[in-house]
Structure 1
Amino acid sequence: MAGPTTAERGERQQLDSGPPRPPRIGWPPLSRTRVIVILVGLTLLAGGTLWTLYGSQWLRVERVTVSGTDVLTPAQVREAADVPIGSPLISIDTDAIADRLRRKLPRIDSIDVTRSWPDGIDLKVTERKPVLVVEKGGEFVEVDDEGVRFATVRTAPKGVPTLEITRGPAASLRRFGTERLAREAVRVVAVAPAAVGRDLRTVKVRSYDSISLELSGGRTVDWGSSEKSRAKAATLKALMKASPGARHFDVSVPTAPASSGS
């Protein structure tokens, strides 16, 4: 009996070995020499990059640019920033510079410190703006819209009203403190009608519930506390329009306002 033919034997071997394998796709295996060459190249590239950033003279701080100042001068900001000229630009700690500026110059509200490649540091300043001043020893302490006392000046800024925290009930001062009462005054100023803001001369705070405004022409406003200030502002605006000759306005209870004097 004759054995299997060559074709039959090939077909049986193919069945025994399973389905045909797909051709291998990908990079050919790297030789040891090629791997070493690649690693050496990457090391040199990394070393060159580090040297360029930290060791070369091309990327070092040569200038400090200041923008956004109003009362402060660029020279004051640069001096307080104390940026190390000549240091590698990549090594500059921008957060530390920002913290240093806010600590040394309380007039700064926010500061943006950025690297300006290849050789500069940019300082973008936003200054605090006074909304009230407190007279103290012949000078004036500026208070911003958050109630922060940030600077003392010899001359009061033009158009900024004075804050007076007078001796009211001792319990109110113990409970709230002068800083809290100053913030309450700021809240009132922030929502006062524009016409009142233009004529406002003094904000008097006797206690948390007793805030009054003194306007030009001897006019006064009893505001009460800073609670419901928006409603009080709207009521005062309507009251002043209805009684243009009045000298005194009371909006401490906005649902029951009153005006008097002529």
Structure 2
Amino acid sequence: MADPAVADPAGEDDAPVPRLRLSRRGIAVLCALGSLLTGGLSWLVFASSALDVRAVAVQGLDSGRLGQDEVAAALGGLRHGPLARVDLDEAERRVEAVPRVAKAEVWRGWPHTLRVKVTERRAVAAVRTEDGKFAQVDAGGFTFATEPAAPQGVPVVDLQLSQQANEALDLFDRPALVHAAITVAAGLPAELSGKAGAVQVHSYDDIRLQLSGGATVRWGSPERTDRKARVLAALIGRKAAIYDVSAPDAPAVSG
């Protein structure tokens, strides 16, 4: 027979654990403290100057033509005030309004930095303006800069219209012909673009590349530019005076 003086361990383990119960007053106090804490944090982040924007950090400035100060200036008043209140979409729109910027990404770098990553526009051609300067144009046909000289390694669009082309300007006007030349220039891979000194437009169907070594590429129209570029890349290793890719399925070299 078990000694009643000996405690039953199982009985001790099964004993109910007392629960902490708060009075209504205690619950109200905790809720009030929680509200004060939340309000304080909200004020600290969104209203106080403790987490203000103090710096703008810019990435992607590869060309040397676009400076951090210009990007920061585009943000205007967004550079001031609490970092948490910066409208990031608006910040991106403002930076993308800078002509040399093709795309911008903006995010918060806590506690005080507004971070910006830009993708700069790349010139695929330069178009001579009426005052003798050169407008730099990207692959989308957007003119983003005008300078006294064409960038190195970028072909210059040269309109040398034939009599027939001049007579057909109501069908293909000068802007359309410049756009055709830009289409050709944009379709050139980097290794070919650097060798093209000029894109001469004699008519819409008679576009030619003047290579830096003196050779000529008869391109024809801007149609099938990708195919023509691949064919030219395969032919360029052969020394010749003329490369004809106007009919890319039947290319020819001569001279």
Structure-1-length-normalised TM-score: 0.75
Q: Is the 8 A contact 1:52 1:58 kept in 2?
A: yes
SS of residue in 2 equivalent to 1:254: coil
The question of 1:53 aligning with 2:45 is answered yes
**Deviations along 1:179-238, whole A, 9 cap, x unmatched?**
x54454344334446664332111123444332111124321111123233432343345
CA distances 1:63-111 after superposition (whole Å, capped 9, x unpaired)? 22223223111122222222445411111112212212222x2101111
The answer on whether the counterparts of 1:129 and 1:144 sit within 8 Å (CA) in structure 2 is yes
What SS does structure 2 have at the residue aligned with 1:218? coil
Query: Following the alignment from structure 1 to structure 2, what is the Cα–Cα distance between the partners of residues 95 and 44?
Result: 31
Quick one: structure 1 residues 34 and 210, their matched pair in 2 at CA, closer, same or farther if it must change by over 3 Å?
Answer: farther
- Report the CA distance shift for 1:106/1:115 in structure 2 as closer, same or farther (over 3 A): same
For residue 140 of structure 1, report the CA deviation from its aligned partner.
Answer: 1.0
| Shift of residue 250, structure 1, vs aligned partner | 2.0
- Tell me: CA distance 1:133–1:84, structure 2 relative to 1, closer, same or farther (3 Å): same
The reply on whether 1:259 has 2:223 as its aligned counterpart is no
Verify the 8 A CA contact 1:185 1:211 in the aligned structure 2: yes
In the alignment, is residue 212 of structure 1 matched against residue 211 of structure 2?
no
Richer in helix (by share): 1
Change (3 A) 1:172 1:213: farther
Larger CA Rg, structure 1 vs 2: 1
For 2:118 and 2:189, locate their aligned partners in 1 and report how far apart those are by CA, in whole Å: 30
5+ residue gaps, structure 1: 1-26
1:79 is matched with: 73
1:62-77 equivalent positions in 2, closer than 5 A: 62-69=54-61, 70-77=64-71
**CA RMSD in angstroms, aligned pairs only:** 2.7
**Paired residues, number:** 229
2:152 aligns with: 158
Bigger CA drift: 192-201 or 202-211? Answer: 192-201
The match for 2:169 is 170
Distance in 1 between the 2:225 and 2:65 partners? 31
CA contact (8 A) 2:215 2:241 kept: yes
Calculate the TM-score normalised by the size of structure 2.
Answer: 0.77
- Does structure 1 residue 117 correspond to structure 2 residue 110? yes
The answer to whether structure 1 residue 89 and structure 2 residue 83 are counterparts is: yes
Residue 44 (str. 1) matches residue 40 (str. 2): no
| CA shift in 2, pair 1:161/1:32, >3 Å | same
The correspondence of residues 28-39 of structure 1 with structure 2, limited to 5 A, is: 31-39=23-31
Q: Quick one: structure 1 residues 92 and 147, their matched pair in 2 at CA, closer, same or farther if it must change by over 3 Å?
A: same
Q: Distance in 2 between matches of 1:43 and 1:234?
A: 67
Q: What percentage of residue pairs aligned between the two structures are identical?
A: 38
Aligned partner of 1:134 in structure 2 is 127
TM-superposition CA deviations, 1:158-192 (whole Å, max 9, x none):
11110124542214325xx72x5445434433444
Change (3 A) 1:58 1:162: same
Indicate which of 89, 99, 107 corresponds to 2:100: 107
Q: Please list every run of 5 or more consecutive structure 2 residues that lacks an aligned counterpart in the other structure.
A: 1-18
